[in-house]
Structure 1
Amino acid sequence: MCCSVGFARSLGLALLPLAICCIMANLLLLFPMGEIAYIQQGRLTKYIWYFGGLGGGGILMLVPAVVFITLGKCNCCWNESLMMCGSVLAAVVGLLGSGYCFVMSGFDLLEGPMCYTNSLSWSYPFSDKTGSYLLQPEMWSQCHQPVHIVEWDVTLLCVLLGLAVLEFVICLLQLGNGLVNAVCRPCCYKQEYSLNA
């Protein structure tokens, strides 16, 4: 049991920086090249407003991180029997959060940024390309404003996708750890009881 609790705590400690990085990446998406004018003018892609990194991969991910880190620190009488079940529920919350972050970042990446284009209007010039623009950097010059917006968005969204995958794997590991302990622990108690009897 001590090993599984220690493992869960280490997973929680790994989740914390990932959640903070997701929040930072999402905030940077709101301010292309560090400028606030575009958010004031509503010139950001629609998927940014779903806050995949801020909500799903960030704030929601703090729930399993805190639960995993504090696992077993309370010496209440009910703690030993329920703490692994609680960690399983927290892991499910983490899976949902990381999945949401991954999906929203993926949709945003496929659609591409909103920018001021050669047609002298604000639009989504890559929305009909189904992501093929990612492999054709020569097309990125269609966006004049914000400057280097394609590189900015692609970099941050790829970071969010990578972080979401790591968070998903960590939560999946704890889901397995918690389920194994929830199932095996009662069996161990029965064996100990029968041996002592």
Structure 2
Amino acid sequence: MCTGGCAKCLGTTLIPLAVLCTLANILLFFPGGKVVENNLHITDEVWYFGGILGSGVLMIFPALVFLGLKNNDCCGCCGNASCGKRFAMFSSIIFAAIGVLGAGYCFVLSAVALNRGPKCYTGTQWTYPFQDGNYLANHTLWSTCQSPENIIPWNLTLFSLLLVMSGIQVVLCGIQVVNGLFGTICGDCKCCGCCGGDGTV
């Protein structure tokens, strides 16, 4: 597979992941699947928009760039200096790095949110009753949160999804960094065995 084809495959995978991360972050604004009366009762990490900005919006740009690389792919570019394949592959490295930063931001936020636990009403006040992820292994502590209903499994599920999906995005963008370096150094076709030196398959 040419490096452009590999990039297109990565871009095709990143787009649905970005959409799912955005949806997961939006759902976190509705603790337990319900609308809260006071926005201050929503877990702080939700307001940092890790899924919407980091793994969502910032991921769309590299995904579109990766998809666009296929337009200059393989045989149509062999021996054509004006095609700019090497520069295109080099630019994809920059966008891949942006993707790594965005997904990394979401990954760290999700990990912090899972360790800290949700903000909930304990019967006396709205607070963060858990420390150092102690509620993850001890489900008896879940009864500490009286409201919103089902807030712990809700946050646990969505932040876990964000953690996994942003981790996958980091890996995919990391792959494109290597793929982009390979395409920049040796070209998309001659070094990949996709085309002959004269541009023929």
**What TM-score do the two structures reach when normalised by structure 2?**
0.85
Instruction: Confirm or deny that 1:73 pairs with 2:98.
Output: no
Say which SS state the counterpart of residue 37 (structure 1) adopts.
coil
Cα distance in structure 2, aligned partners of 1:41 and 1:11: 37
**Residue equivalent to 1:42:** 40
Does the CA-based 8 Å contact 2:32-2:149 persist in structure 1? yes
Indicate the SS of the match to 2:111. helix
Matched position secondary structure for 2:40: coil
Q: Of the two structures, which has the highest relative contact order with CA contacts closer than 8 Å and spacing of 6 or more?
A: 2
Q: What corresponds to 1:134 in structure 2?
A: 136
- 2:135, 2:156 → 1: CA distance? 11
Partner of 1:22: 21
Say whether 1:59 aligns with 2:57: yes
1:7 aligns with 2:23: no
Q: What is the aligned partner in structure 1 of residue 154 from structure 2?
A: 152
For residue 163 of structure 2, what is the aligned residue in structure 1? 161
State the alpha-carbon separation in 1 of the partners of residues 169 and 133 from structure 2: 24
> What does the per-residue CA deviation read over 1:122-147, in whole Å, with 9 as the maximum and x for residues that have no partner?
11101xx2112111111011101100
Measured in 2, the distance between the counterparts of 1:114 and 1:161 equals: 19
CA-CA distance at 1:70 after TM superposition: 1.1
1:95-110 residue pairs with structure 2 within 5 A? 95-110=100-115
Is the counterpart of residue 83 in structure 1 residue 85 in structure 2? no
Residue 185 of structure 1 and its aligned partner are, at CA, apart by 2.8
**Residue by residue, what CA displacement relative to the aligned partner does 1:77-132 show, whole Å, maximum 9, x if unpaired?**
253231101111111011001100000111111111111104x2111101xx2112
Contact 1:113 1:149 in 2 (8 A): yes
Structure 1: any 5+ residue segments left out of the alignment?
193-197
Alpha-carbon distance between aligned partners in 1 of 2:187 and 2:68, rounded to the nearest angstrom: 20
Secondary structure of the residue aligned to 1:144 is coil
What is the aligned-residue RMSD (CA, Å)? 2.1
Runs of 4+ displaced beyond 3 Å: none
> For residues 90 and 41 of structure 1, do their structure 2 counterparts lie closer, same or farther at Cα, with a shift above 3 Å needed?
closer
Task: Tell me the amino acid that sits aligned with residue 180 of structure 1.
Answer: F
Partners in 2 of 1:25 and 1:32 — Cα distance?
Answer: 12
Structure 1 residue 72: Cα displacement: 4.1
Provide the TM-score with structure 1 as the length reference.
0.87
Aligned partners of 2:31 and 2:154 also within 8 Å: yes
Give the SS at the match of 2:19.
helix
Instruction: Tell me how far 1:47 sits from its aligned partner.
Output: 1.3
* Equivalent-residue separation in structure 2 for 1:148 and 1:162 (angstroms): 21
1:36-80 deviations in Å (ceiling 9; x for gaps) = 224x44201111111111110111111111110111426892532
- Give ranges in structure 2 of 5+ residues lacking alignment: 192-196
Aligned length: 185
Is the aligned partner of 1:122 residue 2:121? no
Aligned-partner residue type, residue 82 of structure 2: C
